Structure formats: structure tokens, C-alpha cells
Structure 1
């Protein structure tokens, strides 16, 4: 199962459409980790499961979503409710509480993937305002039976090899 993960698009629409079109035939699920700043009924977000970010106003989006992924439990939240800019500890506790294996979040605008206590934490970065890098990024998660690949791409579609990695879960 392949999952496209974007976050922190902050009002962009053309870029979301381009990314969606580029990968539509190779992914099974599309996730937006919040701060789209678009309405829930926006045509640009139609194919996405999306959570509410701190810059998303109104009560339209949930704060968290859980998906079953070939036996792995994927948990998605924006991250602002867990203070992810300072630490992943609060998010880790929430993941433990619900038994999540893969955690997708945004908010910090920093593209990163790390394994912590057999849980995989993925932040796709921001396709609008990246932090600690000039690369505007998103990620594709490939879930296999005994491992996962996380590949990062620039908004242009170019793979970011230095961020991409493979993990056993």
C-alpha cells in the first residue's frame, strides 16, 4: 500500500493539484496533515483525508484520523496539540495510547522520518514554507509486509535522497 503525505500547504492549490495528479496512479491513500487553509469542500482536497491544523479555522476537520494499513495502524494529526516543535514525546505517548505503528504529523515544517520504540514518525515537511531547508517537500510511504519505505520529494517531483529511508517495523 502506498500513501501520499503532504502538510502545511497554507493556501496553495496548484501545487496540491500537481502533486495529486503526478502520483494518483501509484498511491492508494492521500493524507494531508493540516494547515491547508482551505475549506473542507475544496475540490483540491477532495481525494485527501485531512486533519485540522492550527491555521485551519472552523470545525470542519477532525484533530486526528486513524487508518488501518496492511496490519499497521497509521495515526495522523497536525502536531500543534502535542507541541511537536519542541518534542515528539507527547505525540509518542498518544501513539502508544492508541497503539499506532506509523505516525504522520506536520506543524514544524521540517521534513523528517525517524523510528522511535518501533514506531515510525513521519513529517512530510511543507510544500509552501519549509524550515531548516529550502526544499518544499512531501512524502510517499510504501507499506510492505515487513518493512516500509519513506521517500521524500520536492514539490517539483524530484526525489530527495538524503531524507528518504527504509525501515523494518
Structure 2
């Protein structure tokens, strides 16, 4: 089983990001969807693929990253350049353009999981300033063949079991 951890909008936190790496040593890929407010050489994000958010000043981060992970294509972006607080349509077009199976984004600080067509859209919420719920959330995806098991975690309390979901990917 392969695992990917997705986090966003940590806004300067470093201890929490280091703690995630300790807690989830079995994760093969760490993704940060922007607004880390850290420099590229900060040890807290040294294992993360990081994109640039609207509050990031590090010019070495890209606005988008396309990652191929064991046959699954991820589009990672912060979301502010796609107007994600109003619509996922712009992000959907970009995902189709790059043939992404999973889109990871942040910006709104709202935990959200939605499948549109064959594309899974995933906003892990925020570690620093969650909106819509009290928990400081992040997500771990477990991959087995073409099935993705999604686990939502509250940084302080552990997995939120009732939010566990499985998705079939069409690769």
C-alpha cells in the first residue's frame, strides 16, 4: 500500500509539519498545497512537495506542480489563481488539460472532498486557521491498485473516522 499525505495553509507553523513527518513515517509522498509561509530550505518542509500560495513570498515555489505517483497523476496548486472560493470549474479545466486524476488545493481553509467526473478534488483544510469546522485537518490517501482510501485527520485528536471514504480511480 502506498500513502500520500496532503496538508495546506499552515501559515508559518513548523513544529506541526515536523510532527506530521514523525507520525506518518510510512508515507511515501508529502504534499503542501501552499501558504506555508516558509522558505524552500526550511527543514519543516524538506520532505514536502510545496506550491506557492497567495501568502508565500518564496519565489522558488511554483504555482502548480504535476506529480506522477505510481500511475496516478496529481495536480497540486494553492487555488487562489483558479478562484476556488467561488468555483472548481477553472481547476477542473486545468486538471483535464494535464490529465490529472487527483487535484490537491487549499486557499479556502475549508476541508472538502468532491469527485467531479473521474477527477477527485481534495482540499485538506488548514493546520493553522480552519474554517467550517474546529479541527485542524490534513488528509492521508492510501492507494491499493485503482482504489484510494481517504483518511481525514484532526492534528490534535487523530483520525476523524466518520469522514473516511474510498474512491475508484479511472487511470
TM-score normalized by structure 1? 0.96
- Superposition CA RMSD, Å: 1.0
CA contact (8 A) 1:10 1:128 kept: yes
Alignment of 1:80-119 (within 5 A): 80-119=80-119
Give the secondary-structure state (helix, strand or coil) at the position aligned to 1:57.
Answer: coil
**Structure 1 equivalent of residue 39 of structure 2:** 39
CA distance in 2, matches of 1:104, 1:155: 18
Cα deviation for residue 164 of structure 1 reads 2.3
Give the secondary-structure state (helix, strand or coil) at the position aligned to 2:45.
Answer: coil
- Give yes or no for the alignment of 1:127 onto 2:127: yes
CA contact (8 A) 1:12 1:128 kept: yes
Cα deviation for residue 161 of structure 1 reads 2.2
TM-score normalized by structure 2? 0.95
Q: Where in structure 2 are there 5+ consecutive unaligned residues?
A: none
CA contact (8 A) 1:67 1:74 kept: yes
Name segments (4+ residues, structure 1) moved above 6 Å: none
CA distance in 1, matches of 2:35, 2:93: 23
- Give yes or no for the alignment of 1:30 onto 2:30: yes
CA contact (8 A) 2:152 2:161 kept: yes
Cα deviation for residue 157 of structure 1 reads 5.2
- Give yes or no for the alignment of 1:74 onto 2:74: yes
Give the secondary-structure state (helix, strand or coil) at the position aligned to 2:161.
Answer: strand
